[in-house]
Each structure stands twice: as C-alpha cells, then as structure tokens.
Amino acid sequence: MKKILLIFIILFLTGCYDYMEINDLGFITAIGIDYEEDTYKATFEILDDSDDIQKIKSESKTISNLFDNISLIISKVPDYHHLKTVIISKSVAQNHLKELTDFLIRSPEIRNEFLLVVCEGTSPLELFKKDSKESIGEKIAKLIKTSKNQTNISYDRSFEDILEKILNKKMEATASVITLENDEITLKGIGLFKGYNYKYFLDTKKSSLLNILNKENTNYSIFIENMETKIYESNVKYDFKENTVTININAKAKIIENTTQMDLKDNKNYLIIEKKLNKVLENDLNDLINNLKDNNIDAINLNDRQYKKTRKNRNNYLKNADIKINIDTKINWKGSIFQIDEN
Amino acid sequence: MKTKEQFSITYFLTRPFFFGIIYSQIFGLSETDSIISCLLGTIIGLFIIFLISKMDYSDKKFKTIQIFFYLFLFILAISSIETYASSFLLTKTPKIIIIIPAIMLVSYANQKDMSVIKKCAFIFAIISIFSTIIICLLLSNYLNIQNILPFFSHKPLNILKSAMIFGVMSASPNILLKDENIPLKNHLIFYLITTIINTTIAFLTLAILTPDVAKIYSYPEYMVLKRIRIFEFIENIENLSVLIWYFDYFFLLVYIFKKMQEIIKKRVIFFIIIIMTTLLTTFFIANDFYITIWIYKYSSIIISTFLILFISTLKHK
Amino acid sequence: MNNYIKRIKNEFASSPDLVIKKININLLHKVYVIFLDTLSSQDKINDYILKKLVNINLIFNIENILPGGNVVKLKKYDEIEYYLYNGFTIVIDNKNIYAVETRADIVRSISTNETEPSIKGPKSAFVENFQINIGLIKKRIKNHHLKIKNITIGRISNINVGILYIDNIAKKELIETVYQKLESVDIDLINDSADLYPYLTKKSIFPTLIYTERPDRCADALASGKIVIICDESPNAIILPAFLVDFLHPYSDRYNKSVNINLTKIIRLICFFLSIMVPAFYISIINYNQEAIPTSLIINFATQRSDIPFPAVIECFMMLIICEILRESDLRFPTKYGSSVSVLGALLIGEAAVSAGLVTPIMIIITAFTYISSLIFTDIEIGNAIRTYRFIFLIISAMFGLYGFMITFIFFILNLCDTKSFDFFYTFPISPFDNSYFKDVFFKLKNNLRSKYLTKNITKEKL
C-alpha cells in the first residue's frame, strides 16, 4: 500500500502549473482607453520592480487584442488585481461602453472595485504623458475621495455600482468627469448616462445638488447678499401620490462669512436668513430638475423609488410627473465670532 | 457531547450544494423574492427530513437505489469541486491533478473510525461558524435594504420552483445520517439553524449586490467577498474566505465512502468503482460545458426522483 | 554451608569488590557475612551486623540479634543475587540465609529542576533514587488511599518500577491495562523511564505521555485521576493519560494570577498554529495567489526578490534547515567552550546573508518568527512534532498553493483527533467537550469539580 502512495507522490512533482514568481508580474494600476478612426487605443500604467513607472501604449481593432498586445512590448505578465481607475474618452462612453463592460466583468482576475472616469476635452492618453513618480491611477482615486469634504462634485462609487444602475431599467447611471487644465488633472462634474450611452455632464453647482438628491454626501455653498453659507448635512424624503412627487428636505447650514449689518445675537435674524436660504435652494433645485426633464434623463431615479413604494410600473415618469420641493434648513453653526463691527 | 457532534455533522451535510449550484439558480429565478423562497424551502426541507426518519432500510431494492443515489451525489460533488478550484484558485492546472489529493485525503480518512471523524467535525464546525460570523459582520457595512424591496413582485411559480430547489438539495444528503439514530426533534432543530445561517448569507449577497447584478454572476456568493476592505489596507481576501466551503465537501465525501463500503463489501470492487467515476467525471463531464450545465440545471429534479423512489418504500403504519 | 560459599566464589569470580567475612562464634558455629563493597555502606554494616556478632559466644536465633529495620529471610539460593545487587548484606548461618539492608547512598542531593523552571512555586526536582522520589510525592499526599504497585523489569537490570494511583479517584480499568502492559515487558536492560515509551504508546507524531521532574505536578495529576509511573535510577516520572493542552501550557501557570495568565494562554495557542503554518502561507501567497498582498507591500517584495537567484521555495527550505542545524548545535555544545558559536550562527542568519544576495530580508523575518514562537513550548517532543508538520505544510502548499494549504490543514486536524493516549482522545477538552478540565487547564477559571472523563468521583471542594 505504501509503495503505491510513493508512486503517486512522485507523480505530483511534475505539477506546479500555476507557479508564478512575483518579480515576473507587472501590476497595472490605470488604463486609459480611446476610440479613433475605427481602432481602440490604450495606455497602460504598469508598476514593477524597477524604479520607474512604465506607460505602455497599444492599439487594436478589438478589445481583447488591445489587452493582449501589451505582451509584445513588455516582458512581464500582466496582473489586474490592483487596478484602480479606468479612464475612457467621450467617444468610447457614447458608443462602445457595452463591449468594454462585458469584457471587464467576465474576466475573473479583474476586481470590480475600480473607478470608471470619463475624460472630456482631451484624449485620456495625454494624461499619461508626464514623467512622474506618482501613479495616476492612485492619484485620481484619491482625488475623487478626498474632495468630498470641500467641493462635493464627484461620484465616489465603484464600477459595480455603476453597473447596477445600468442593468436596472428603472435607474440611470452617473460617473465622474475629469479634464486636463494647465497640465493638471482637475475634476469637472458628474456625467450622465442613458442606458449604456453617455450624454453630457453637469456643472459644479448642479453636480453637488444631484449628490444631495441622490442621498450621497452633502456640501453646497449658497451666497446671499454679503453672506456666505454652506449646507453640510441633509435628510431627503420622497412622497409619491398620483403623478405628483413631493421632495422634503431637512438640512443643516453653517455661516461661513458675514459682512451684513445683521446682529447675530438676535435670534429673529436667523429666521430671516433661513427663509432666504430656502428660496435660493428651491430655485437652484428647480433649475436642475428642469434641466433633467428637458433632456429626459432620470438621474435622480424617481422611477425606481416610486416602484419600490407603490409597485406600479411606469415609463417616462420624470417627464409626466409634477414635482414639488419643500425645504427646511436650520442654521446651527456660526463659528467663533458673532460679527466684525465697523463702529 | 453527543448532541454537539450530531449538530456538526448535520451542519456539514446540509451545506455542500449551496456553493455554486443553489444560490445562482435561486437568484436567477426569483430575484428580489429569494428570501421568501429560502423560507419556503426550509419548510419543504423540514418535511423531507420528517419523511426520511420514517423510512425503512431493510429492503433489498433499497440498496441498489442507494448505490446509484450515492454515485450521483459523488459525481455532483466532484464536478463542483473541480470547477470551483480551477476557476479561482489554480487556473492552469489540469483538473485531474486538482482532484487527486482530495480523493487521497478522503480515502485516508475512510480508514479511521467513525468516532474520530465526528470529533473532527466538531472542531471544524466551530471554525466554520466563527468565520462566517466574522465575514457577515465585515460585510454588513455595505448593506442597502432598498435593494431587496418590494416583496412578492415576481411570478409565484418561480418562487415555488426555487423553494423546491432549496429544500430538496439541502435536505437530501441527510439520508446518509440514517444510522446515527438522531432523535427527530433534534434533527429538525439542527437543520433549521443551518438553513438560517445560509439564508443570512443569501440575504447579504442580495442586499449588497443588487438582484440585477447577482443574476449575471455564476458564483455570486464569491463575488460579494471581493468587497471586504479592512482599514483600507487588507483587501482581496476572497480566496482565503472561500476555503471554508471546502470543509462541507470533505465530510460529504467521507460519509459517501463509508456508506458505499457498507453495501459493497469487497474493497477491490469499491476502489475500482471510485476510480472509474472520478475519471469519468473529469474527462467527460467537467471538461465539457454542455454536460456540466445540463447536470447543474436538472440536478434538483434527479434528486427529487430518487427521493420519491425512497419514499415509496415507506411502510404504512 | 560450604557449598553455598563455593558457589558464590565461583559465580562472582572476577568481581574484586565482593567481600566474604568469616566470623567464628565458637568452635562449632561459624557465621559468614557477604557484601559488595561498591553498593553497601561500611558504617551501616558495622553498626547493624559486625558489632553485634563480635563478643558473642552463643547464638540461638540470629534474627533477634541483628538490629536493622529490614531483615528478610531467604528461601532459595537464587534470590541472593537480587539482594546482593540491591545493597543488602547476606548473613549465612547454618543453612539459614538472611539479608539485611545496608544500602549506600550513591545519589546526588535534591536540586532545583532545570527543564521546567518557574519563578514562583516549589523548586525541588526528582533524583535517581526510588525511595527519595516516592518520599517527595508522599509528603504532598498524606492519605492512605495512595497505593503503589511494584514491578521489576529487565533480565539483566532488574530495575524496580512503581505505579502510583489514588484508590478512590482513578479508574480501575486504566490501572489494570497499565499493569498488564508493564508486566508483559521482556527486555534486557532499561536505563530510564523513557525506555518504557514503546510499550505504553502506539505510533504517533505527537507525544502522548508527560515526562516531568516536578513532584508537585505529579501530586496534582494524581489528585485529578491520572496515574504516575516512577522508575528507579531515573529522574523523570511519567504521567498518563496526557492531552494536547497539557503540553501547550507550562505547569507554573498555576501559581500566577488568573486574569493576567488567561491572556498569555491565548497568545500561546495562537503561536502554536502560527509556528506551523506561517512559512507555508507565505509561500502560497507569494507564488500562487498574489492578490492577497496589499499594493503598498507588493512592489517592496518584488524589488527584494529581483536580486535573488533562487526561487522562494528553495530559499525557505534553506533557511529552515539552517535554523535546525543551529538549534542542534546549541543543544549539544557545552557552554564552557565559549560563545563564538552563536556569533557564527547569527552571521548566517543576518545582514551578511542579505548583502551576499542569497536571501531576502522578509524570509529572515519569517523564519525568525517561526522559531521564536516554537521556542515557547519547553517540551522537546512538541517542538519535533511541530517541525514535522511545518515541513509537510510547506511541501504541499509549494505544489498547490492555498488549495494545498487547506488540504494539509484538514489532514493535520484529522491526525490530531486520531491520536489517542490510552483510549482517551488527544484533543480532550475541546472535542469530547468537558467543562471542568477546560476551565482548569485550557483557561484558568473558577472550577469546583473534577472531570467526568477521567474519574467518577467528581466532587473535590465545598460547592
């Protein structure tokens, strides 16, 4: 019996098919994809055991050849487990997103926690031209994450979340948008998708309002006649009745700068300020909703919300519905001083 | 101590076919209502266990049906192990080399006494329950209950079909436990606890990945584990956490070997049958997707026909 | 009588330490005193025998004249050899043979124990004498229920072996099986209680008997229902049955505060598993499933590995074997020869090896960590068992990655559950789960009863 076991153990020594040395791997952290004149063009950013970060270009007519052509140039086996961002150009986002998502989801090596970012204005391949020691994939990911506390104009969710919204027919997907300004990567706003097709992007004001309505982070600054305030926390609720929607918002605001003559030690002044805030906010929100209605994109997912509460399957809900907004802000932070007096 | 050991072996024998076979079929048929079909499935499973306890083993026809039933469970388990190991852990090794150490380990464990295996099962049950609790706690940060609402929005026929799949596939390996003399009330409670743990796992996968996304994956309970992130430093631990599901296959195979060896008394014939079935599954079933998907899709129907054949030997009291 | 003397002179012809003294009491009565010089003490012979036999003219019954606590009357000639070699003096008087005990103390005095040191608690250890060892135990258990059964083992050696147990606590079947196993031993020579190992245990990688030098540990084991075997000329006692938890925690935990010591026990348990599994886990992650390593570390590892010509598996084997060689040389080398050996060893595993381009720094850290965690366990047998399993884990996970790691883990726990120590399961407080032994040894919590698995008499204190 033991001799048979020994023979079996000798058979095992011919194994080790999956053995991979760690310095044979090239870790890809960012990919930029563009589509011009019937070919896909891409740049890959690869980290390996040398000191520089390598940026490899490849071109092909199909997506799988695009990813395979790296091996013609670099001598490392590509490893996609540390992929941080995928930057696509406007032409890919408008027409070819479906093939790209199918390829990325189907391969088990790619972890779907990367960020999908759309690049407006320039081709994404130009972002990789700088000779720097910093990896662009990590830089964009951290930029989107850390900007939430100051200017809340980006969408910080992974690719799987975007996929959920695309596959669900009652929701529309959104993604962050970046450009190259003065040789620096800057955030621009939130881009809107209809199905698998990219339409346009909202400016900074409308992007932060969209984040408020979608119950993501809240950070919106309002300027009223010599006073600057900021809304930093909000609670949004939707009420659905026959063809009318009421959006109830409870928000908290802070006073950032005050050069009016109002006496902040008097408590009646706060009610006046709050009324003004409510009006300005309501106007801005109505602007956003009219914009969405004109372009027929349901970026605030009203169709899905009403389905979960009333179970009625409706198409084109946003166009036909009547939307009312009730806002209630309360100021509860004014800083260390009451006011600077000129007398 | 006896009750603790009986709990651990029922725990391991109800769990094996969840990974890869039950979850993906349930999520495909009844998307947001999978929780309801799981609860209905537990009731069906409890009823099946009640019927199993009334069965009689002394028929000769029963023994031939038993051999074919155990062989079918064996084929299903081995093809499941091969596809799961070769799609995540070792992608380039041929499937025959993946399955040989598993068969050697199980035949080594076959030579030990039953009492040793029960003690072993208790230790592994502690490890398995402890790790599932930690994983559920780590994943609870990403929950969003809005993803599961509304209830009862799909066809009732689909809900019933998925409940049947759940109940039949999870309760049928309990036939292997006929000789342990577990009292009926304890057996039902142990089965209930195991299915509660498994429905929480189904609930978590659905609530984190929405039903639309969970429908397209072939191993959704594995894809959920990719979201775990601790301290922004430890990530990608899905390959470690998935190893917990292997313990169930091990105990299922050990019990199948023991029961088959009681029926086929000569060792040489037993080994020839085992080796022929493993070669058959690796070279014809697991390497050809046409047959693999057919077996996964219709496995619940085949097992329920076996169960009906078994139940027909009930003595009328 | 002359026949006896002739036979003794023939049999002990070339032993120059045999002394035969002839005392003439009167013209017709002669008494012979025979002893071995090396094993008997002259003072006792003078006091007990010679002083009383000189100046006497008539003896009726020599037994009433000889003082001394232990005087045995022998019936056959063949028993003379046994008593002579145990230090007795033979007095032959008219075909009556008497043996008087005059044993010399060729033994070292009671010293502190070296293999199981402790800061608090008693420090005395066993010596190579049967009576002194039993005396040390009996001083701690002053109860008439403590019984001893004696067996002599060895055709040439005829060494005395004693089985100790407490009558109303230990199980009777256990005592019977131990007695039968020791009675069937038929060998030439035993030197130490470790020679009894193959007769009391079956083949297994883990040790199933405890060797100890401490009498307080033996007394505690007797009080919970275990059996102690003491062998003459051996400073180690055997305690059986033994379980895995007894080897993981040293006995001196008993004398420390329970709240603080529970944390140390958790650390020891984690170290037991880490010391077996860390090299295999590292190899399977570096070579098969690289995604589990965080991004910030992976570039670091890749740069370290790019300068090394060997694959990671061979590096690991080399480092582990070098550490084994270091440990062996440390055990054998006497400390008086100087400490340059440790300097040479530190060179091999240190900066010189890294700068020569043979090993990566991370591999040195991993081997150092495994060895430090295995040095927590003082018993040598556990260290050897851990080493065996460490190599098995390493070989199989070098071939199959994390899948092989899991298969070996199942194999390891299956083997642990399979070892038995006298028909008691080795993973005792966990797998046949027992509340009171768990609270006593595994953690230190309040416990009022003895364990049911070992004894039927379970009350020991006022509840």
Which CATH number fits the domain that encloses residue A337?
3.30.300.210
Does A172 reside within a domain? yes
The alpha-helical segments, DSSP class H, found in chain B are 2-14, 22-29, 34-53, 60-84, 95-110, 114-139, 156-171, 184-208, 211-216, 220-223, 238-241, 246-263, 267-280, 289-311
| C102-111, C182-191, C208-217, C453-462: range with lowest mean pLDDT | C453-462
Does A164 reside within a domain? yes
Q: What is the rounded average pLDDT for all residues in chain B?
A: 88
Q: Are A231 and A334 within one domain?
A: yes
Put simply, the answer to whether C414 touches B116 (Cβ < 8 Å) is yes
Closest partner CB to A12 (pick from C291, C306, C399): C399
* Residue of C442 and C394 predicted with greater confidence: C394
d(CA C162, CA C425): 25
Number of separate domains in chain A: 2
Q: Are A74 and A223 within one domain?
A: no
Q: What is the rounded average pLDDT for all residues in chain C?
A: 86
Bridge pairing between strands A115-119 and A174-181: parallel
Does A208 reside within a domain? no
CB C327 within 8 A of CB C316: no
Q: Are A184 and A277 within one domain?
A: no
CB atoms within 10 A of CB C184: 8
Segment B281-299 shows an average pLDDT of: 85
- ∠ CA A209-A210-A215, nearest 5°, is 100
Does A17 reside within a domain? no
Least Cα distance to B166 among B4, B293, B303, B1 occurs for B303
Q: How far is A81 from chain B (nearest CA, A)?
A: 8
pLDDT bucket at A10, cuts 50 / 70 / 90: low
Interface test with C, best of B8, B82, B89, B243 (most C CBs within 10 A): B89
Number of separate domains in chain B: 1
Interface test with A, best of C285, C296, C298 (most A CBs within 10 A): C298
Is the pLDDT confidence value at B172 over 80?
A: yes
Q: What is the rounded average pLDDT for all residues in chain A?
A: 86
A8 CB within 8 Å of a chain B CB:
yes
Q: Are A165 and A299 within one domain?
A: no
Output phi, psi for C249, to 5 deg. Answer: -110, 130
Nearest CA in chain B to C418: B116
What's the confidence (pLDDT) of residue B10?
A: 93
Residues in chain B with CB shorter than 8 Å from the CB of A167 are: 210, 212-213, 216
Residues in chain C with CB shorter than 8 Å from the CB of B124 are: 410, 413
Interface test with B, best of C414, C416, C419, C424 (most B CBs within 10 A): C414
B96 CB within 8 Å of a chain A CB:
no
Segment B300-316 shows an average pLDDT of: 81
Residue ranges of B 117-146 with Cβ closer than 8 A to chain A: 146
Bridge pairing between strands C146-153 and C159-166: antiparallel
C297 CB within 8 Å of a chain A CB:
no
Is the pLDDT confidence value at C463 over 60?
A: no
| B134-138, C62-66, C283-287: range with lowest mean pLDDT | C62-66
Among the three residues A167, A201, A235, which one is the final residue of a domain in this structure? A201
| Tokens (6 digits) for A18 | 């999956």
What's the confidence (pLDDT) of residue A4?
A: 65
pLDDT bucket at C408, cuts 50 / 70 / 90: very high
d(CA C265, CA B256): 39
Residue with tokens 């055997």: C238
Is the pLDDT confidence value at C445 over 70?
A: yes
Residues in chain B with CB shorter than 8 Å from the CB of A113 are: 226-227, 235
Put simply, the answer to whether B92 touches A311 (Cβ < 8 Å) is no
Is the pLDDT confidence value at B226 over 80?
A: yes
Least Cα distance to C299 among A49, B234, A25, A75 occurs for A49
Put simply, the answer to whether A49 touches C302 (Cβ < 8 Å) is yes
Q: What is the pLDDT of residues A263-288, one digit of tens each?
A: 788 888 888 888 988 999 999 999 99
| Spatial CB neighbours of A314, under 8 Å, sequence gap ≥ 6 | A303, A306, A307
Return the biggest CA–CA distance within chain C. Answer: 106
What's the confidence (pLDDT) of residue C227?
A: 92
| B117-121, C111-115, C458-462: range with lowest mean pLDDT | C458-462
Residues in chain B with CB shorter than 8 Å from the CB of A111 are: 226, 236
B225 CB within 8 Å of a chain C CB:
no
Residues in chain B with CB shorter than 8 Å from the CB of A12 are: 97, 100-101
Q: What is the DSSP letter of C416?
A: H
Q: Are A53 and A181 within one domain?
A: yes
Interface test with A, best of C283, C363, C394, C399 (most A CBs within 10 A): C399
What's the confidence (pLDDT) of residue B135?
A: 92
B271 CB within 8 Å of a chain A CB:
no
pLDDT bucket at C343, cuts 50 / 70 / 90: confident
Q: Are A143 and A222 within one domain?
A: no
Does A18 reside within a domain? no
Q: How far is B213 from chain A (nearest CA, A)?
A: 6
B116 CB within 8 Å of a chain C CB:
yes
Segment B94-122 shows an average pLDDT of: 90
Nearest CA in chain A to B107: A5
CB A117 within 8 A of CB A86: yes
Nearest CA in chain B to C287: B90
Q: Are A143 and A228 within one domain?
A: no
Interface test with B, best of C393, C410, C423 (most B CBs within 10 A): C410
What's the confidence (pLDDT) of residue B155?
A: 86
What's the confidence (pLDDT) of residue C387?
A: 93
Residue ranges of A 216-275 with Cβ closer than 8 A to chain B: none
Does B87 reside within a domain? yes
d(CA B23, CA B214): 10
Put simply, the answer to whether C298 touches A22 (Cβ < 8 Å) is yes
Q: Which chains sit next to A, with 3 or more Cβ pairs under 8 A? A: B, C
**Domain residues for B211?**
2-311
| A104-108, B302-306, C83-87, C348-352: range with lowest mean pLDDT | C348-352
Does B178 reside within a domain? yes
Does B317 reside within a domain? no
d(CA C374, CA C276): 8
Least Cα distance to C4 among C71, C101, C80 occurs for C80
Put simply, the answer to whether C403 touches B90 (Cβ < 8 Å) is yes
Q: Are A307 and A193 within one domain?
A: no
A168 CB within 8 Å of a chain B CB:
yes
| A11-15, B6-10, B258-262: range with lowest mean pLDDT | A11-15
Segment C174-198 shows an average pLDDT of: 90
Put simply, the answer to whether C398 touches A16 (Cβ < 8 Å) is yes
Q: What is the pLDDT of residues A125-184, one digit of tens each?
A: 888 877 777 888 888 988 998 988 888 888 888 888 888 888 888 888 899 999 888 888
Segment A37-49 shows an average pLDDT of: 88
Q: What is the DSSP letter of C161?
A: E
Chain A to chain C Cβ contacts (< 8 Å): 51
CB C45 within 8 A of CB C35: yes
d(CA C306, CA C172): 65
| A93-107, B302-316, C351-365, C385-399: range with lowest mean pLDDT | B302-316
B227 CB within 8 Å of a chain A CB:
yes
Does B183 reside within a domain? yes
pLDDT bucket at B121, cuts 50 / 70 / 90: very high
Q: Are A46 and A188 within one domain?
A: yes
Put simply, the answer to whether C301 touches A22 (Cβ < 8 Å) is yes
Does B123 reside within a domain? yes
What's the confidence (pLDDT) of residue C276?
A: 94
Burial (CB < 10 A; 0-12, 13-18, 19+), residue C399, is buried
Chain A to chain B Cβ contacts (< 8 Å): 49
pLDDT bucket at C120, cuts 50 / 70 / 90: confident
Among the three residues A177, A201, A225, which one is the final residue of a domain in this structure? A201
Does B47 reside within a domain? yes
Residues in chain A with CB shorter than 8 Å from the CB of C283 are: none
Least Cα distance to B6 among B217, B189, B250, B200 occurs for B189
Closest partner CB to B240 (pick from C292, C296, C417): C292
Segment A11-19 shows an average pLDDT of: 70
Is the pLDDT confidence value at C325 over 70?
A: yes
Is the pLDDT confidence value at B317 over 60?
A: no
Q: Are A174 and A61 within one domain?
A: yes
pLDDT bucket at C461, cuts 50 / 70 / 90: low
Put simply, the answer to whether C299 touches A27 (Cβ < 8 Å) is yes
Q: What is the DSSP letter of A251?
A: E
Does B109 reside within a domain? yes
**Domain residues for A252?**
214-343
Q: Are A239 and A104 within one domain?
A: no
CATH at B202:
1.20.1740.10
* Residue of C54 and C31 predicted with greater confidence: C31
Does B85 reside within a domain? yes
* Residue of C286 and B316 predicted with greater confidence: C286
What's the confidence (pLDDT) of residue B212?
A: 86
pLDDT bucket at A5, cuts 50 / 70 / 90: low
Put simply, the answer to whether B91 touches A18 (Cβ < 8 Å) is yes
d(CA C187, CA C183): 11
Put simply, the answer to whether B149 touches A168 (Cβ < 8 Å) is no
